């Protein structure tokens, strides 16, 4: 015979009241639920539940939930072992150098590139072996210039002024270190050749600001993102010339979506989507403002416009790992984030400060202070372990 769950519940509650000397309440229950209570003597109890109290059943239920939760955490930890690296306390903490005279105006982007000494032989020094490379600070500003500065000496090497609007982003070819992509507010993007100090090729395929450019890992493809709601993909034809081969159009601005979009480089450029929402619905509860790949290669850090100042770490194949809170950001901000080389620490801009988070604990462990204006961009150099930041205070700062 099937167990009457409702009758069993009344029996458990009645016994709980009696055990706790709540006799008047028990009597009221018997009066108000007389039709049910009169069947208690004939109640058939579930197997393994004879003589068990309400508290013992709830305790067992709680333990089962905890066990299931721990099993899920254990599984996720195993999947995320690459990114949940135990911290060692080694990350940039001190401001080593300030570059305050590079641009006439606000600085919009800054990165550290490695450039062949043969390209600029006049930059040789006793510290740089012959036929080697040296570190260059590359910056762009509201003065519409892109400048290459010797990171060690602070001396200007070369500048470019090919954009009619401010340059918003640039990237270096992963193999041919003399090729640099740039993009800007004029809706164009360009390929620079440092060996000739000239623009090798220009494109105007977008209709609005081009906000980002990025080479593929092999350098045979690159992608651009724009406020015209599109992402373009270009492929090399074998002669170091790139042509548009694929275009992905969005319903809104490229950032305003609750999904991560992944496009396979090469072949038919297949497109897949991963929902960033924890409950997998289509509600856009936050806007992703910046993406940064983790050193593991299997996770992506998403800086959102959440009022809680949230960055969330998601698996490339879907599912949230953890979130980090406390930065100052809104829908009008241009927040940036990046990892250190170990993947144990995250750097995130917050007004005029840089928050340093431990991935393992999810807590902010340090704040880099020094800028006097909104920080526009940050970049971590894996080889040197240095962090650079640029700000609307007109300076670029080097942290170690």
| Model pLDDT, residue 74 | 47
Q: List pLDDT tens digits, range 159-218.
A: 999 999 999 999 999 999 999 999 999 999 999 999 999 999 999 999 999 999 999 999
**Contact in structure between 247 and 230 (CB atoms under 8 Å):** yes
Tens digits of residue pLDDT in 273-321: 877 776 666 666 677 889 999 998 888 999 988 878 889 998 887 777 8
Nearest to 7 by CA among 62, 64, 49, 48: 49
Judged against a pLDDT cut of 60, whether residue 358 lies above it is answered with: yes
Q: What is the pLDDT of residue 68?
A: 45
Measuring CA to CA, how many Å separate 241 from each of 62, 235, 276? 63, 8, 36
Residue burial 30-68, b: 16+ Cβ < 10 Å; e: rest: beeeeebbeeeeeeeeeeeeeeeebeeeeeeeeeeeeee
Neighbours of 222 (CB within 10 A): 22
pLDDT reported for residue 70: 44
CA angle 108, 183, 160 (to 5 degrees): 75
pLDDT tens by residue, 341-354 = 999 999 999 999 99
Q: How far apart are CA 251 and CA 107, in angstroms?
A: 31
Q: How confident is the model at residue 62 (pLDDT cuts 50, 70, 90)?
A: low
pLDDT, residue 73, reads 47
The pLDDT of 233-249, averaged and rounded, is 89
**Whether the Cβ atoms of residue 368 and residue 353 lie closer than 8 Å to each other:** yes
322: number of Cβ within 10 Å? 17
**pLDDT, tens digit, 9 for 90 and up, residues 93-132:** 999 999 999 999 999 999 999 999 999 998 877 666 666 8
**What percent of the chain is predicted at pLDDT more than 70?**
86
Task: For residue 241, give every residue at least 6 positions away whose Cβ sits within 8 Å of its Cβ, in sequence order, or none.
Answer: 201
pLDDT band at 224 (very low <50, low <70, confident <90, very high): very high
pLDDT more than 90, % of the chain = 56
- Indicate the average pLDDT of the chain: 87
């Amino acid at each position: 015979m099937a167990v009457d769950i409702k009758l069993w519940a009344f029996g458990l509650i009645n016994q709980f009241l009696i055990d706790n000397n709540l006799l008047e309440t028990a009597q009221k229950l018997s009066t108000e639920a007389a039709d049910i209570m009169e069947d208690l003597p004939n109640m058939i109890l579930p197997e393994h539940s004879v003589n068990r109290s309400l508290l013992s059943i709830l305790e067992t239920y709680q333990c089962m939930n905890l066990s299931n939760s721990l099993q899920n955490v254990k599984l996720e930890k195993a999947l995320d072992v690459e990114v949940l690296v135990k911290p060692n306390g080694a990350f940039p903490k001190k401001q080593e150098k300030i570059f305050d005279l590079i641009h006439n105006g606000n600085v919009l982007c800054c990165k550290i590139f490695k450039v062949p000494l043969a390209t600029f032989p006049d930059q040789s020094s006793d510290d740089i072996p012959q036929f080697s490379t040296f570190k260059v600070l590359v910056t762009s500003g509201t003065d519409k210039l892109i400048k290459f500065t010797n990171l060690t000496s602070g001396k200007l090497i070369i500048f470019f002024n090919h954009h009619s609007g401010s340059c918003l982003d640039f990237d270096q070819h992963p193999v041919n270190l003399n090729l640099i992509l740039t993009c800007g507010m004029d809706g164009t993007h360009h390929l620079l050749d440092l060996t000739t100090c000239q623009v090798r090729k220009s494109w105007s395929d977008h209709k609005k600001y081009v906000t980002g450019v990025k080479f593929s890992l092999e350098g045979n493809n690159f992608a651009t993102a724009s406020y015209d709601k599109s992402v373009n993909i270009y492929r090399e034809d074998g002669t170091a010339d790139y042509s548009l081969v694929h275009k992905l159009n969005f319903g809104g601005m490229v950032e305003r979506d609750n999904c991560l979009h992944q496009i396979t480089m090469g072949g038919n450029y297949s497109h897949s989507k991963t929902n960033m929402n924890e409950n997998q619905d289509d509600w856009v509860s936050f806007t992703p403002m910046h993406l940064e790949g983790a050193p593991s290669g299997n996770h992506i850090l998403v800086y959102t416009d959440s009022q809680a100042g949230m960055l969330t770490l998601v698996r490339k194949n879907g599912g949230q790992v953890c979130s980090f809170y406390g930065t100052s950001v809104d829908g009008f901000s241009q927040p940036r984030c990046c990892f250190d080389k170990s993947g144990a620490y995250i750097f995130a801009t917050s007004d005029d400060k840089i928050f340093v988070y431990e991935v393992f604990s999810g807590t902010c462990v340090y704040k880099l202070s020094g800028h006097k204006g909104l920080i526009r961009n940050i970049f971590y150099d894996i080889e040197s372990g240095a962090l650079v930041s640029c700000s609307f205070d007109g300076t670029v700062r080097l942290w170690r």
